[in-house]
């Protein structure tokens, strides 16, 4: 009997500690989903794309002569404009097969801006118009940023493309 009641007391103590912690984790997960604002480009920009401006912006500190030259992430407006209207340019060497490819395709899977972030899309990337622009020619930009985007960012990016890439 005494052992059982000691176990019960111990279990209660664990619940007292764990339950609020679980609530906190749940609450912060909700919060970051809300910050990502599904469907809005503002959420995508603040959620990850602003990191790209370290290199892809006029005069950016990380800009090199071999960089993709169309993308401009300096501001949210310029990022939206260059992603939705632009195609890759200025790529040299191994990557040059992707010059002329639009950053935004008809779907998530055919978008070059997705292929540089989502490994699955990169490995399946295949365009009849640019057969050489495949996983060997598409660089992993999450390595350049230094950390990968969250799963909810990629989810929201897919929803945004499906919705027609609204501003
Ligand atoms: C540290 C600098 C740096 C950062 C940060 C960076 N890029 Fe790049 N990006 C490059 C360079 C350099 C290239 C040219 C290809 C290469 O060298 O791998 C490139 C190429 C690209 C390409 C062409 C794809 C290809 O390889 O065919 C796209 C699209 C792209 N970047 C998008 C992005 C996005 C989106 C981000 C932010 C998530 C980003 N880049 C962050 C430097 C950077």
pLDDT digits (tens, 9 = 90+) for 27-60: 444 344 445 456 699 999 999 999 999 999 999 9
H-assigned helices in 36-150: 41-47, 76-85, 112-115, 119-124, 141-145
Closest residue by CA, ligand 1 atom 2: 55
Q: Using CB atoms within 10 A of its CB, is residue 38 exposed (0-12), middle (13-18) or buried (19+)?
A: middle
Token pair 């972030």: residue: 117
**pLDDT tens sequence across 70-119:** 999 999 999 999 999 999 999 999 999 999 999 999 999 999 999 999 99
Take residue 92 and report the two structure tokens written for it. 């040299």
Are the C-beta atoms of 95 and 137 separated by less than 8 Å? Answer: yes
User: Residue 101: CB within 6 Å of ligand 1?
Assistant: no
pTM of the model: 0.83
């Amino acid at each position: 009997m005494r052992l059982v009641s000691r176990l019960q007391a111990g279990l209660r103590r664990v619940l007292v500690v764990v339950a609020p912690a679980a609530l906190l984790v749940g609450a912060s997960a909700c919060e970051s989903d809300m910050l990502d604002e599904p469907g809005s480009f503002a959420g995508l920009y603040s959620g990850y794309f602003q990191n790209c401006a370290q290199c892809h912006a006029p005069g950016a500190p990380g800009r090199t002569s071999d960089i993709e030259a169309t993308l401009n992430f300096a501001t949210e407006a310029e990022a939206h404009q260059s992603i939705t209207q632009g195609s890759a340019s200025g790529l040299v060497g191994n990557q040059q097969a992707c010059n002329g490819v639009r950053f935004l395709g008809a779907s998530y899977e055919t978008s070059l801006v997705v292929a540089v972030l989502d490994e699955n899309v990169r490995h399946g990337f295949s365009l009849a118009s640019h057969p050489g622009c495949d996983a060997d020619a598409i660089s992993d930009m999450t390595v350049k940023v230094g950390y990968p985007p969250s799963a909810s960012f990629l989810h929201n990016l897919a929803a945004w493309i499906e919705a027609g890439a609204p501003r």
